[in-house]
């Protein structure tokens, strides 16, 4: 059975040019490897996700002409997450934690990305899970060897990178790390293409997928990001990057935006409109040597 590749935006704002870049990489890799595209709406963070952003993801992707074979929404998959959590609980791989955000920051060191490296304060407390606790994974002290198709080989230890990480938070929300692993298993994802800002999550996801029963992890391709030329920060919703639909409202066509993205990757010599089909082919050509 053909495996899937996923495009997995979070509906916490409107899509911007960084998403368009990511989508072009996803559809190009699907084209190279014969994967089917699965669109996953990653709305696990219910405090930030909004229905209008979900609808906008469908509309914006269709406006460019992107097509996908299947789709899912994380907020409709609670049963799957609950079941996966029960499996980990049965194997004594989880524990409840009542550390506050403040104590987490005060009592634990941080890694180079500013993430807490949890030192296990609640590991042996045997707390009863309650609405005031989060659920953490007992991360085995194992080294994960994995390789990124573009960036090469990595040898990393999630226990040292982040320690026992959270599966469900104190607001009873499933975390990104947990939901993404359950989904990548159940949605038959054989290839993960995403921005290189998520590269450091890969080892812990491979480890967690193994604990959930998937021994053969997906292939990974982390693509370079787009940076805002004035601030040199990566384009993101938090940085209030101009959305694709705002540009559409100002009169830009889909082909003009695709042309700009191709130009930013030096795939064309001057910024000019280009069709989606040609853009995907140009991206495929640029990266096919990695496959
Ligand atoms: N939802 C994440 C984002 O929009 C992508 C997560 C992933 O591809 O693993 O940045």
CATH code of the domain containing 9: 3.40.50.620
235: confidence class by pLDDT, cuts 50, 70, 90: low
Say yes or no to pLDDT of 4 above 80: yes
Pocket flag, ligand 1, residue 180 (CB < 6 Å)? yes
pLDDT of residue 231: 65
Pocket flag, ligand 1, residue 9 (CB < 6 Å)? yes
Say yes or no to pLDDT of 190 above 90: yes
Evaluate if pTM is beyond 0.85: yes
Of how many residues is the chain composed?
291
**Residue 172 gets which letter from DSSP?**
S
Q: How far, in Å, from the CA of 155 to the mean position of ligand 1?
A: 22
Average pLDDT of the chain is 95
Say yes or no to pLDDT of 215 above 80: yes
- How far apart CA 291 and CA 287 sit, in angstroms, is 8
Across the strands, what pairs with 94? Answer: 137
- How far apart CA 240 and CA 217 sit, in angstroms, is 34
Q: Domain range holding 245?
A: 4-290
pLDDT of residue 2: 85
Say yes or no to pLDDT of 266 above 90: yes
Residue whose structure tokens are 């987490």: 104
Considering only CA atoms, give the Rg of the chain: 20
pLDDT of residue 238: 59
Give the list of residues 6+ apart from residue 91 with CB closer than 8 angstroms, or none. 211
Number of structural domains, the chain?
1
pLDDT of residue 232: 65
172: left (phi over 0), alpha (psi -120 to 50) or beta: left
pLDDT, tens only, 110-140: 999 899 999 999 999 999 999 899 999 999 9
Pocket flag, ligand 1, residue 26 (CB < 6 Å)? no
**Strand ranges inside 70-131, DSSP E:** 70-73, 94-97
Contact 84, 182 (CB under 8 A): yes
């Amino acid at each position: 059975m053909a495996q899937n590749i996923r495009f997995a935006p979070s509906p916490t704002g409107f899509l911007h040019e960084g998403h368009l870049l990511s989508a072009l990489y996803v559809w190009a890799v699907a084209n190279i490897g014969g994967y089917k595209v699965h669109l996953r709406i990653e709305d696990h963070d219910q405090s930030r996700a909004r229905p209008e952003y979900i609808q906008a993801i469908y509309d914006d992707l269709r406006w460019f002409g992107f097509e996908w074979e299947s789709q899912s929404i994380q907020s409709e998959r609670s049963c799957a997450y609950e079941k996966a959590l029960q499996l980990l609980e049965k194997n004594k791989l989880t524990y409840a934690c009542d550390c506050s955000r403040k104590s987490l920051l005060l009592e634990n060191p941080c890694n180079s990305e500013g993430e807490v490296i949890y030192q296990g304060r609640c590991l042996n407390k045997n707390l009863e899970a309650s609405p005031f606790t989060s659920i953490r994974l007992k991360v085995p002290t194992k080294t994960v060897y994995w390789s990124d198709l573009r960036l090469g080989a990595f040898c990393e230890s999630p226990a040292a990178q982040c320690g026992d990480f959270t599966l469900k938070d104190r607001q009873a929300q499933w975390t990104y790390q947990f939901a993404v692993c359950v989904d990548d298993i159940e949605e038959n994802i054989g290839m993960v293409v995403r921005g290189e800002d998520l590269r450091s999550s890969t080892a812990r996801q491979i480890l967690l997928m193994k604990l959930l029963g998937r021994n053969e992890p997906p292939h990974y391709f982390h693509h370079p990001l787009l940076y805002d030329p004035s601030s040199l920060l990566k384009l993101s919703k938090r940085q209030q990057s101009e959305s694709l639909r705002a540009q559409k409202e100002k009169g830009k066509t889909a082909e003009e935006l695709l042309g700009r993205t191709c130009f930013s990757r030096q795939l064309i010599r001057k910024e000019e409109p280009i069709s989606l089909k040609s853009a995907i082919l140009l991206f495929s050509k640029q990266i096919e040597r990695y496959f």
